[in-house]
Structure 1
Amino acid sequence: MPHPFDIEEIFPDDGDHPVRLPRRQAGNSPQGVAVTLLADYTLRTRAWLPSAAIVALLAESHVSLAGARTVISRLARRGVLEGSRQGRRSSYRLSRSAAVSLSVGGSWVMAATTTTQPWDECWTLVAFSLPQERSAQRRALRGRLRWLGYAPLYDGLWISPHELTPKARAQLTQLHLGAVTVFRGRRVDLDAVVGRDPLDAWDVAAVAAQYESFLRRWRPLLPRIIAGQVDGAEAVRARTEVMDTFRRFPTLDPQLPLRLLPAGWLRGPARETFAAVYDGLADTAERHVRAVVARFADGTYADVRAHTTADLLAGVCAAAEAADPASARR
């Protein structure tokens, strides 16, 4: 299986205007922290935040002053942020393209870790052959297959228990027209010494270890959340970290049918723990972000609004535009 940080982008490319979201790194990168912070409290409204407030919030996540300023500049160049200046005061907000991409990605993460589809015991096989000189295209194809939940059973033969969706079909066609063949069918059992179990394409034990690590990290915090013992700055940091960690699971856990997995699979408990942390700290974190923003600008900043896992599943941007159609034109 891939290392948890091998997938390059935070979310799959989606939307009419994809933006260059920060690449994954081992640990929480400053750019990733900044995107998560802004998304967690302004994705619904695309509120403008003073750059000084963004720097102050990043400082609470142990990003240096110089590092925070560099992050803002780089995210603006990537098209993730758009800026505005009034006198000596500069402000930034998520670009519409970034907001759409992050909203789609958040919904995808929630759906991928919630939905359990019945299985017809058939496998989808993607076979491809590319010459050595097309190594970049081969890497791109493999990366896309990873995003779609496939894994390599053999070199050039990737499998998934799920049907090929129209969207996946279109993506594979665009990447390598004429270089890919797709089949779907049942496995024929051979002698155990000769045949390879399709499940061997995934390192199930390694996925389980990631779930166990996640639960060890976050379950001890739940009693303090219930008791209201987590203060504002810690609440913001915890929501940022738990989101940055949990959103990787759809790329690690390919949503294999539960009947193929060991008993007591921890996908459900991990999602429940994520929701307990992320939702349980939402109000405390929102109040803290508003307080920090208020130090650098006039007004109460009611547009700073935390969202929940239910909001993410529904699509935060979609919910905002349904409530206020004019927001789609601003």
Structure 2
Amino acid sequence: MLSFFGIHALGQGTALATGSLIDIFARAGITEDAVRSTLTRMVNRGLLERHRQGRKMYFGLTPRAAAVLQDGHDRIWRTGAVNRDWDGTWTLVGFSLPEAWGRERHDLRSRLVWGGFGALQNGLWVAPGTVDVLALVEGLGLDAHLKVFRGAAAGEPTDARTVLETAFDIDDISEGYHAFLEHWSHPVPANGAIDDLARQLLLHTDWLGLVRRDPHLPAEHLPADWPAARAEELFQSLAHRYAGPARREAARLLDTIAVPEAGAAR
């Protein structure tokens, strides 16, 4: 759902009608009940807000969701999947939370993973390069429990490859890219624009899932056959292929209303 709103609502100042979302998601094999329950959960989590017009209900992005989607958009189209510009520095975050703070710990770890961090050891997380940790954890109310450092490893036994292999599951990240390549290298031929709309949604969702899992590790310390560049080239080729037909079909199918802008334009 976030992928769809990111493609067709981010920066548009529009809210989307429930009925048209149900119709479009049905073409990707997603049931009406699943769409309705997802919309409700996203409202409860502060990602979408309801707008009623007559008997119809519309859903628009909240500023929080717009910021998340803009960040994802920037990662996909600006940052890229391969980090060839690492300066040799690391950002480290140390934290210790009360045992009873399970939800807070989960939320913090989720933010750290999104920010490219991996667990170096218990309570100590590391990410390559400079990360704005305060912006990353904004709103969690945990600043007083964090210690943030930036610097370079001293060398043996803490060289860059050791840090990467300890803090990140390199094999799992690589397998994700290989699975993407295998699945999308030979997609089933589209049968009209409506299929391109569903295919675009699935493609972007798969790719965003990879981007979320990939901490943008320095390429110089990864295996020579690292598959991220090939997967990114395939994603961009397919994304451009589906964009025109999907946009035209979405314009035909989507029932929208104008709402105040929720975040940065694309």
Taking structure 1 as the reference length, what is the TM-score of the superposition? 0.65
The one-letter code matched in structure 2 to 1:239 is Q
2:233 is the counterpart of 1:286 = no
* CA–CA distance in structure 2, aligned partners of residues 276 and 96 of structure 1: 30
Q: 1:80: how far off?
A: 0.7
| 1:185-220 CA-partner distances (Å, limit 9, x unpaired) | 22331499xxx9212221111111000000111111
Which shows bigger deviation, 103-112 or 246-255? Answer: 103-112
Corresponding residue of 1:63: 30
Corresponding residue of 1:187: 154
| 1:210-266 CA-partner distances (Å, limit 9, x unpaired) | 0000011111139x5xxxx54222211111111111112233221111110000222
Q: Which has the higher contact order (CA 8 A, sep 6+)?
A: 2
2:15 is the counterpart of 1:54 = no
Kindly tell me: are residues 164 and 174 of structure 1, through their superposed partners in 2, closer, same or farther at Cα, counting changes over 3 Å? farther
Corresponding residue of 2:94: 127
Structure of greater Rg: 1
* CA–CA distance in structure 2, aligned partners of residues 191 and 101 of structure 1: 33
Structure 2 alignment gaps of length 5 or more: none
Kindly tell me: are residues 185 and 174 of structure 1, through their superposed partners in 2, closer, same or farther at Cα, counting changes over 3 Å? farther
Percent of residue pairs bearing the same amino acid type: 23
Kindly tell me: are residues 272 and 67 of structure 1, through their superposed partners in 2, closer, same or farther at Cα, counting changes over 3 Å? same
2:208 is the counterpart of 1:247 = yes
Conserved? CA contact 2:89–2:128, under 8 Å: yes
SS in 2 for 1:188: coil
More strand by share: 2
State how many pairs are aligned. 257
Structure 1 alignment gaps of length 5 or more: 1-31, 304-315, 320-330
Within 5 Å, give how 1:1-330 maps onto structure 2: 32=1, 35-76=2-43, 78=46, 80-86=48-54, 88=55, 90-97=56-63, 98-114=65-81, 116=83, 118-165=85-132, 167-168=134-135, 171=138, 174-177=141-144, 179-190=146-157, 197-200=162-165, 201-221=167-187, 224=189, 229-293=190-254, 317-319=264-266
SS in 2 for 1:132: coil
Q: 1:317: how far off?
A: 4.4
Conserved? CA contact 2:95–2:145, under 8 Å: no
Taking structure 2 as the reference length, what is the TM-score of the superposition? 0.78
Conserved? CA contact 1:232–1:285, under 8 Å: yes
RMSD, aligned CA: 3.4
Q: 1:182: how far off?
A: 2.2
The one-letter code matched in structure 1 to 2:176 is Q
